[in-house]
Structure 1
Amino acid sequence: MSKQTGVSRAAIRSWQHRLEPLPRRTVPDAGPPADNCAYAYLLGLYLGDGCISAHPRGTGHYLRIACADAWPGLMRLCREAITNVRPGVSVYAVQKQGYSMMSGYYQHWPHLFPRHGPGKKHDRKIAPEPWQQVIVDAHPWEFVRGLIHSDGCRITNWTTRVVAGERKRYEYPRYFFTNKSDDIRGLYTGTLDKLGVEWTYCIRDGIPYNVSVAKKASVALMDAHVGPKH
């Protein structure tokens, strides 16, 4: 070829070397969460107010958790949970109207949250993988706390009673969890059952929409392990 083209052999060898296909870069597997306790909490946040979306160039994925601006402590806990589950992932906040989207880019988020998918969660099946259930069973309160911090709240209810002919006002704390997904509500109430927390459904338009915890002993348990958002 050198004689036919008049190009030196050294140049041809250089071209051949440059035209050889580059070796494929192997990407390591995601591996298990680095911190199972943080993962249980992050899973609760994700099931409530989280989503996973692909990078436009198809090189990885974003985990996004919506956190209301009224709860700066929640933003801090969310950021810590993401970085503890996958050390080295940078987390940044994208400001929206009334809330911030805590976002972290990582190639293997779908492996750590395998039930992700397009559309709304209540329109698709949500069930934990066996390894996820093992983590939730080992850290149930962190899972419940993540669900409450995303789609729940602790409020003070009040009622009146007539005592000795006089009507008096009484206040009592109560936890609510609101989610349209039957599967996610089932994960919440199933975990509460294992923890000995009594709960009831609040029906809206004939649909069991809210899960309420109002019994004094159960509220005390929730206060000891969950507490209000901050």
Structure 2
Amino acid sequence: MELEMSFQTKNKICFAMDLMTNGLLHYMENDSAHCLENARRWNAQLALGINALHNMGIIHRDIKSENVLIDIRQNVRIADFGLSYITEEPKPLIPWWDYTSDVKGTIHCMAPEILRNMKKPGSMKYGTPVDWWAFGCVLYELMPLPDHKAGLFDSADAIMEYVSWHSKHYGTFDLFPAFHQLDPPMANLLVGLLNPLALLRYGFRQVTTHRYFSNEDGTSEFNGACSRGRSNLTCL
């Protein structure tokens, strides 16, 4: 979200920003049909936003539905950078580099490499893939499923149980039980995004070329994704 202006009164410092209609979580809980209609466009916009942050030297570390806002043009805005990792000088982050081992984020969207530092502080450094794991968690929540409000994981133990399941079924074609009810393209995308091995996890390149975002006319949902809201103004 951009800061349009700021001003100060005797007792307050005020920031002026664009008006948001609601958070993504609100739509998930109250208007599943609207989520279904806009899911692929919102997902594309969120991926573009995450990639833009990484190019500016920022790992958000708290991507979740509560921090994804929808503006008056029905475009995605990423909010709340209080837990972000930010480089001293703005420069693109290298996807396969590790930058920090701090435990930051919200448990149900926290990548395994962050969680491991909860029990053994500083034991595992991580980088940009943690945001793509969280992106996968948001994608799952956006699907109009009977239990989508609860999300994919509800605790650190649930995430580590998923990691254990993945380890036991690595190299097979078995699909994680929670993905059975999804369309094959979405299930395949989630398998890539929620790979416990950060080096093998899908990133921006794999997301933008994935068939989930392919349209019937041969175009991609990423084509003009930020200008297909309710007006021609761009998002992010």
TM-score range, shorter chain: under 0.3
* TM-score, normalising length: structure 2: 0.24
* TM-score, normalising length: structure 1: 0.25
